[in-house]
Amino acid sequence: MGSTVLSLRIDGELLDRLRSHAAKRGMSVQDYVARTLIREDFDERFKTAVDETEKFYGSPGAGTDDHVRPSAGIA
């Protein structure tokens, strides 16, 4: 997979906060932002997969007491 450049114009205060968060983790701002975006994308895809699974098996509390919810135990 190749990479592409994404240029952003952001507020100085936001950049300072990003620098602070990145520094706490020993990361560059670029790596911190990329990691955050990747994590957010994963969370969205995971939630969609859980929702689709619950649609397939039935939503929680819909009288399907013999099944364990796919999202059981996941916060």
CA distances from 34 to 2, 31, 57 (A): 14, 5, 35
When pLDDT is cut at 50, 70 and 90, the band that residue 42 belongs to is confident
Summarize the confidence of residues 26-53 as an average pLDDT.
90
Q: How many helices (H) and strands (E) does the chain have?
A: 2, 0
pLDDT for 54 equals 87
Summarize the confidence of residues 21-47 as an average pLDDT.
91
Residues 29, 22 contacting (CB under 8 angstroms): yes
pLDDT at 75 over 70: no
Residues 54, 69 contacting (CB under 8 angstroms): yes
Indicate the pTM of the whole model.
0.59
